[in-house]
Chain A
């Protein structure tokens, strides 16, 4: 099923994107990348994606959270599974001035830490895609 599966990475670090993009492509996924939240959101609106890989710390702060919040409000885009890839440890969740960061921003969220082992990344991606497929399938 992965031949037709299209993923979007939104991360402001092109080098990091290179690193995970090639892992995902080697597993047969079609991968696009956006290097800031704005073009990321535009891409989501113009093309259908099966999964979003989202960085949290972008631009002037935790702009990835803003992306996640916008997605949640959109009836169509909120169906896309989101895998958060972040340099922040889940257990730290330390505060950026006035901004608490919690790993579970969306009901479908999963979180992995940077850097991520290829196998773990592919496992999480396929697990999220399977969950989404199940949700869509008529009962």
Chain B
């Protein structure tokens, strides 16, 4: 039970970030390397606006984040958008600027955010910090809503269409620029939310988001572009893998093994026979049998 709760807790954080980065990747084909630093921004809002109650601070973070993200997309990402690599470098620079900005404003010293919900809850006999539970459940609800939106709304349909074939989607009347702007904003907001939600659990400092980038990047690597559910699944897989390894082994060994396993999965996935195997699983008729 302990392990299960740990996985859920970790998934809330990684899931929000990974689904966010996947939304951005789906619409723009850009890996947003500033995703972790956007989470840092969210955490700083939660850490500095201490006069307001925590819930309000979280909403404030989102309210501050939304126009900021739109402006960033307009100013920085619109032009190099056609070239994926250039746009990726822009996001890298954006992340660096956010880190340096935070260091200038708030210095490099870590801050903490008081836990808004005190005490522990008994989950089937295991005591667990109440806030972690609240945090994880909120995150999972939001991830669920995003997935629902992607599969049940018009916007989601268009997003998936753009992810599949941007040229065709544009021809059929989806404005790719608007799509990119909304996707970047929503994906970025998920990161801001993750940062604000998890700030009471972490130390808030300028470089905090940078460390989150690696597991999130792996999550994106293991998911299918446009299929947000696979991104959530990948985040779950990564959280589970990391928690399980660290429960069984010492942290040092677990980290080494974690990377080895993730790289192995990524390498295996690119093998053609795996693709055929999974296609067979999905019972899609293979071209050879169609003849």
Do A and B actually bind? Answer: no
Q: B residues bordering A, Cβ < 8 Å?
A: none
